[in-house]
Amino acid sequence: MTDQKKNEYSASNIQVLEGLEAVRKRPAMYIGDIGVKGLHHLVYEVVDNSIDEALAGYCRNIQVFIHEDNSISVHDDGRGIPTDMHIKEGRSALEVVMTVLHAGGKFDKDTYKVSGGLHGVGVSCVNALSSHLRAEVHRNGAIYEQEYAIGKPQYSVREIGKSDRTGTSVTFTPDSSIFTTTVYNYETLSARLRELSYLNKGISLTITDLREKEEDGTHPTETFFSEGGLSEFVLYLDQTREQLLEKPIHVEGVRDNVAVEVAITYNASYSENIHSYVNNINTIEGGTHVAGFRAAITRVFKGYGDKQGMFEKLKFDVTGEDFREGLTTVISVKVPEPQFEGQTKTKLGNSEVMGIVNTAVGDAITNFLEENPREARTIIQKVILAATARHAARKAREMVQRKSVLGSNSLPGKLADCASKDPEASELFLVEGDSAGGTAKQGRDRHFQAILPLRGKILNVEKAMEYKIYENEEIRNMFTAMGVKIGTAEDDKALDISKLRYHKIVIMCDADVDGSHITTLILTFFFRYMRALVEQGYIYIAAPPLYLVKKGKEQVYCWNDQQRDIAIQQLGKGREDSVNIQRYKGLGEMNAEQLWDTTMDPNTRTLRRISIDNGAEADHTFSMLMGDEVPPRREFIEKHAKYAKIDV
Ligand code: 0RA
C-alpha cells in the first residue's frame, strides 16, 4: 500500500455522528431485538468489521471465542484500528470508533462495506450494550488497549507493550440488564461463520467454545475456510442430494461497482433452493438481484431448448418455475449503497442490480450450455419432466380447490373449528392421532382453539413431487383448515397470509420418537411449501410435560429430568418410594383437563415458536434429515443425541 493511500485513512476520516445513550434506551431499534437474535447480532456486528478489513485485503484470519461467562472475543489480523489522535474530536481514533455511532472509518463509497448493512450500526453499538468491553490493538510495533463500561471509556487509550504483528481484538460482555438472555448458542454462531466463509472466500474463520470440554480435554472448535466460495456453498447445501452437473456453474464479475457472485447446481430433487445475499446479509425476501437471476435462467434455458427443438412436442407451456425445479443456487452481490425494503427489510430494492445480475448470469449460462451440450440436455430433460409434473399438479390442485369451493362447508370434516373468526385471537392445534385429537377437543377452549387431528405419519414432502402433496389427505386438511393456498401464484409460491385463519398454528405431538418424527415431517412441509408462515412466526410446537410427580393431593408436572428430581425432593423429602411418578409418553395418557392445564392453557403452557436463524443451514438440515442418505443423518443424530432422550 502506498503512503498516500495510507494517509487517506488518517484518523480524521472518521465521522462523528451521535452518542450511545439512544442505543441503550431503544436497543431493539438498533439490533432488531433484545432476545437471543439481538444477542447473537452483537457478535456478527464485531465480526463484520473484521470481514470489512479482510475484503479490503488486509486480514486473513478471524477468530471467535465464547468464554465461560458467555463473553465473546473476536480477534483479527488486520491493520488494527488506528490509535492516533482524532484531530476534530481531540481523542484517539480507537475511542471514537468505539464510542461514536456510525463511526467506522471507511466512508469511501467505492469500497464495499458489509458492516453497516441491515442493522449494521457499528461496533460502538455493541459497546453501548455491553457491561464491559475491552479493545486491544496491535499496530506500529506496539500494543494498545482501552476498556469501557456500558460504552463509557474507563481510561484513555494506553500503550501496554511491544508487538511484532498487527490486528484488533474486541472482548465484550453483553449487558444482562438489557438482554432477556445472555447465553450464546454455539451452533448459531458456527453456522453464521460457515456461511461467511463461503460468502468471502479466502478468509479463515475459527470458533472455539471455551464453555465446553471434549473428552480429551480440548474445547470444541471449528475452522471454516473456503477456496471455492459459492460453488462450495451450493455443494454443501446439496450434500445429500444427487447432483446432475459435474460441477456447479460459477459466475463472478464486477460491473458498475456491483460485485456479483453466483453458483448454480441442479439436483434430482423437486424443490427450488435459492439463497441470496447482499453485502453478506441474507435477503430472505429476495429482491432485484433474485429477479435478475430468475429472468436470466428462464431467458437462456428457454432460448436454448427452443433452438434445439426440445419443447416442440409439449402440449403446454414451459414456465419459469420449471427451469428452477431441482436448482440450488446462491446469489451474492456486494452493493456500495444497498436499499433494503420489505417487511423485514431483507429485500433488495436497487433497480440497477437486476440488469447487472441478469447479464452476468445470462452470459455465464450461455457459455456453459455451449461448452457442455451433454449436461445441457440433462437439464432441459429435467425441465420437461418438471413441466409435465406441474401440469399434473395443477390438475390435482384444481380438483382439490374445486371440491372445497363446491362443498357447503369448505373446511375439512375432521376439523373442530373455534368460534372466533378473528385470526389474531385464533389458534389451530395440529394433533397427532385421532385419540389425542379427541382429548384435545374436550380440553380446549372452543372460543379460540381449533383442533385438527392428523392420522399417522404425514407425507415426507422432501422426497415427493408436488402433485403428490395435493393427493395427501392430511396435508390437504392442513392447508384448507388454515385457509391459505399453496403453489397458486405461478412464478412465486407466494402465500396470501391475509387469508390465514389462525395466527398460532401449534404442532402437538407425543413426547416420543414417533412424535418427534411427525413434528419434523410437519415442519418440513411448512419449510418447503409455506415458508412465509415460519418466517413470520406463526408456527409453534406445544410442550406437553414428561412427568407427573404426585404425593397425596399434591402434584407437580415436570418438563425435564431436573425438574422431576427437584419435585421428588420437595414432595417426597428425598424419599422416592412415598412419591408416585408418572412418565407421559403420549398425549393420550393425559385426560382432557390435564392436557388443558399443562399444554393448552395460555396462562400456564409453554409454546416454542419456530424461527429460521439461518435459511441456508435450515435447508441443509432438512434435506439431510428427510432425504435419502443415511450416514449424514446418523452423524447428525449422534451429535445431537445429548439433547434427545432415548425412549425405552
Ligand atoms: C479504520 C481504518 C483502518 C483500519 C480499520 C478502521 C480497522 C477496523 C477494524 C475493526 C475490526 N478490525 C479492524 N481492523 C481495521 C486502516 C488503518 C491504516 O491505515 O492502517
Residue 103 confidence class, pLDDT cut points 50, 70, 90:
low
- Identity of the amino acid at 145: E
Please check whether residue 48 is in contact with residue 117, taking contact to mean a CB–CB distance below 8 angstroms.
yes
How many angstroms is it from 94 CA to the middle of ligand 1?
A: 9
Is 513 a member of any domain? Answer: yes
How many angstroms is it from 161 CA to the middle of ligand 1?
A: 20
Residue nearest to atom 4 of ligand 1 (CA): 81
Q: Are residues 59 and 190 in the same domain?
A: yes
For residue 361, pLDDT beyond 80: yes
Lowest-confidence segment of 116-120, 350-354, 555-559, 627-631 by average pLDDT: 116-120
Q: Are residues 143 and 280 in the same domain?
A: no
Lowest-confidence segment of 107-111, 142-146, 393-397, 512-516 by average pLDDT: 107-111
Residue nearest to atom 7 of ligand 1 (CA): 81
Q: DSSP assignment of 573-630, as one string?
A: TT-GGGSEEEE--SGGGS-HHHHIIIII-TTT--EEEP--S-HHHHHHHHHHHHSS-H
647 Cβ neighbours under 8 A, 6+ residues apart = 512, 513, 585
For residue 116, count other CB atoms closer than 10 A to its CB: 19
* Index of the ligand 1 atom closest to the CA of residue 93: 1
> Buried (b) or exposed (e) across 142-160, using 16+ Cβ within 10 A?
ebbbbbbebbebeeebeee
- Identity of the amino acid at 588: G
Please check whether residue 496 is in contact with residue 484, taking contact to mean a CB–CB distance below 8 angstroms.
yes
59 Cβ neighbours under 8 A, 6+ residues apart = 50, 53, 76, 77, 78, 79, 167, 203
For residue 345, pLDDT beyond 50: yes
Residue nearest to atom 5 of ligand 1 (CA): 81
How many angstroms is it from 82 CA to the middle of ligand 1?
A: 6
How many angstroms is it from 336 CA to the middle of ligand 1?
A: 18
From residue 43, how far is each of 140, 188, 207, 512 by CA, in Å? 27, 11, 11, 36
Strands (E) in 190-325, as ranges, are: 204-209, 221-224, 249-255, 258-266, 273-278, 281-282
Domain span at residue 283? 230-396
> Buried (b) or exposed (e) across 504-528, using 16+ Cβ within 10 A?
bbbbbbbbeebbeebbbbbbbbbbb
The pLDDT of residue 172 is 98
Q: Ligand 1 test: best mutation among 8, 44, 79, 96, most atoms within 8 Å of CB?
A: 79
Q: Are residues 410 and 326 in the same domain?
A: no
> Buried (b) or exposed (e) across 38-67, using 16+ Cβ within 10 A?
bbbbbbbbbbbbbbbbbbbebbebbbbbbe
Number of domains in the chain: 3
How many angstroms is it from 85 CA to the middle of ligand 1?
A: 14
Q: What percent of the chain has pLDDT over 90?
A: 66
Q: Are strands 504-508 and 167-174 parallel, antiparallel or unpaired?
A: unpaired
Q: Are residues 416 and 375 in the same domain?
A: no
Residue nearest to atom 14 of ligand 1 (CA): 80
* Index of the ligand 1 atom closest to the CA of residue 170: 11
Average pLDDT of 26-51? 93
Q: Which residues on adjacent β-strands are paired with residue 207?
A: 64, 222
Residue 287 confidence class, pLDDT cut points 50, 70, 90:
very high
Q: Are residues 448 and 305 in the same domain?
A: no
Q: State whether residue 59 is helix, strand or coil.
A: coil
How many angstroms is it from 56 CA to the middle of ligand 1?
A: 10
Q: Which CATH number fits the domain that encloses residue 322?
A: 3.30.230.10
508's enclosing H/E stretch is strand 504-508
Residues with a CB atom less than 6 Å from ligand 1: 6, 9, 49-50, 53, 76, 78-82, 105, 168
Looking at 224, 242, 264, which one is the last position of a domain? Answer: 224
How many angstroms is it from 411 CA to the middle of ligand 1?
A: 61
How many angstroms is it from 92 CA to the middle of ligand 1?
A: 13
Looking at 355, 371, 396, which one is the last position of a domain? Answer: 396
Q: Ligand 1 test: best mutation among 53, 98, 137, most atoms within 8 Å of CB?
A: 53
Interatomic CA distance for residues 340 and 559, integer angstroms: 42
From residue 153, how far is each of 127, 156, 157, 172, 617 by CA, in Å? 10, 7, 9, 13, 38
Looking at 492, 522, 542, which one is the last position of a domain? Answer: 542
Catalytic residue numbers? Answer: 432, 510, 512, 514
Q: How many H-runs (helices) and E-runs (strands) does the chain carry?
A: 20, 26
Is 1 a member of any domain? Answer: no
Interatomic CA distance for residues 72 and 14, integer angstroms: 26
For residue 48, pLDDT beyond 90: yes
Residue nearest to atom 10 of ligand 1 (CA): 49
Average pLDDT of 491-518? 83
Is 11 a member of any domain? Answer: no
> Buried (b) or exposed (e) across 424-453, using 16+ Cβ within 10 A?
eebbbbbbbbeebbbbbbebbeeebbbbbb
Residue 16 confidence class, pLDDT cut points 50, 70, 90:
very low
The pLDDT of residue 640 is 66
How many angstroms is it from 620 CA to the middle of ligand 1?
A: 35
Q: Are residues 93 and 114 in the same domain?
A: yes
Q: Are residues 247 and 116 in the same domain?
A: no
* Index of the ligand 1 atom closest to the CA of residue 82: 17
What is the torsional sign of CA 639, 643, 647, 648?
A: positive
Task: Retrieve residue 124's grid coordinates.
Answer: 460502538
- Identity of the amino acid at 420: S
From residue 135, how far is each of 82, 120, 361 by CA, in Å? 12, 19, 42
Q: Are residues 191 and 308 in the same domain?
A: no
- Tell me the pTM: 0.86
291's enclosing H/E stretch is helix 288-307
Residue 578 confidence class, pLDDT cut points 50, 70, 90:
confident
Q: DSSP character for 572?
A: H
Is 565 a member of any domain? Answer: no
Is 200 a member of any domain? Answer: yes
* Index of the ligand 1 atom closest to the CA of residue 46: 11
Average pLDDT, the chain: 88
Q: Ligand 1 test: best mutation among 75, 81, 123, 168, most atoms within 8 Å of CB?
A: 81
Q: Are residues 105 and 212 in the same domain?
A: yes
Residue nearest to atom 2 of ligand 1 (CA): 105
Residue nearest to atom 8 of ligand 1 (CA): 81
Q: Which residues on adjacent β-strands are paired with residue 556?
A: 549
* Index of the ligand 1 atom closest to the CA of residue 106: 1
Interatomic CA distance for residues 546 and 419, integer angstroms: 31
Query: Which has more pLDDT, 19 or 597?
Result: 597
Phi, psi of 135 (to 5 degrees): -110, 135
Where helices occur in 122-238 by DSSP H, the ranges are 123-128, 186-199, 230-237
219 Cβ neighbours under 8 A, 6+ residues apart = 208, 209, 210, 212, 213
Q: Ligand 1 test: best mutation among 124, 168, 203, most atoms within 8 Å of CB?
A: 168
Q: Which CATH number fits the domain that encloses residue 451?
A: 3.40.50.670
Q: Give the strands of the sheet with 327-334, arranged side by side.
A: 249-255, 258-266, 327-334, 273-278, 281-282
- Apex 64 CA angle, 59 and 65, nearest 5: 145
Q: Which CATH number fits the domain that encloses residue 47?
A: 3.30.565.10
Residue nearest to atom 12 of ligand 1 (CA): 50
Residue 113 confidence class, pLDDT cut points 50, 70, 90:
low
Is 635 a member of any domain? Answer: no
Is 551 a member of any domain? Answer: no
Q: Are residues 380 and 510 in the same domain?
A: no
Residue 602 confidence class, pLDDT cut points 50, 70, 90:
very high
For residue 243, pLDDT beyond 90: yes
- Identity of the amino acid at 526: F
Interatomic CA distance for residues 203 and 76, integer angstroms: 11
Q: Are residues 160 and 297 in the same domain?
A: no
216 Cβ neighbours under 8 A, 6+ residues apart = none
Residue 630 confidence class, pLDDT cut points 50, 70, 90:
confident
Is 444 a member of any domain? Answer: yes
Q: Are residues 238 and 364 in the same domain?
A: yes
Q: What percent of the chain has pLDDT over 70?
A: 89
